[in-house]
A and B are shown apart, each in its own frame.
Chain A
Amino acid sequence: SQQGEEDPQALSIQEGENATMNCSYKTSINNLQWYRQNSGRGLVHLILIRSNEREKHSGRLRVTLDTSKKSSSLLITASRAADTASYFCAIETGANNLFFGTGTRLTVIP
């Protein structure tokens, strides 16, 4: 399978704590992207990291990529109740398609 696989499947934390989600994949990639989904509807693009990048930041988000281990992590710092959502990693291969994992369900408890 070319898709990314997220770990853990579900994560529950207290507001203010950091949340870390991991993604592993099996093929060569052009880039890896993280998306967020609320209430099972449309996905929102969060951040894209290219295969030649190792770390990227966007606001409270920090993404790392280790191509030797074929893995990525998404860190959300100082979590808020509004961060409660499902988070998906997606890998872009040369096919111009994105292959999505099954997601991590994050619950932030106020």
Chain B
Amino acid sequence: GAGVSQSPSNKVTEKGKDVELRCDPISGHTALYWYRQSLGQGLEFLIYFQGNSAPDKSGLPSDRFSAERTGGSVSTLTIQRTQQEDSAVYLCASSLGQGGGQGTQYFGPGTRLTVL
């Protein structure tokens, strides 16, 4: 597709269950980012992938959060043993990844996660 896509658009889960969120970046974009946005708040950086380099995981809030990017394209964000405070919109973005002014990020529509 022409833009970043994410699935599912909405996910409701029970506390303690694991969830997987998927992101398909724009073709050719080497950089991929995950953010979390709680209600009425700004974006919280979670993790950043750039090409084949080791990801920048500095934003992951706990070891329950992990992400993979297979084949340099699709990424999956996994949250294990979900907690109610994990409820948020999870946004994925991709960019050409060169930084220095080429770092414009293109966002997907997000996945709204609700943990009951």
Query: A residues engaging B (CB < 8 A)?
Result: 3, 30-31, 33, 35, 40-45, 48, 50, 88, 90, 92, 94-103
Report the nearest B residue to A45, measured CB to CB.
B104
Q: Is the CB of A41 within 8 A of B109?
A: yes
Query: B residues engaging A (CB < 8 A)?
Result: 4, 31, 33, 35, 37, 39, 41-43, 45, 48, 50, 56, 89, 91, 93, 97, 99-101, 103-110
- 12 A-B residue contacts at CB 8 Å? A30-B101, A31-B101, A31-B103, A33-B103, A33-B105, A40-B89, A42-B91, A42-B107, A88-B43, A92-B99, A98-B105, A102-B41
A88 vs chain B, min Cβ distance (A): 6
- CB neighbours (8 Å) of B35 from chain A are 100
- CB neighbours (8 Å) of B104 from chain A are 33, 45, 48
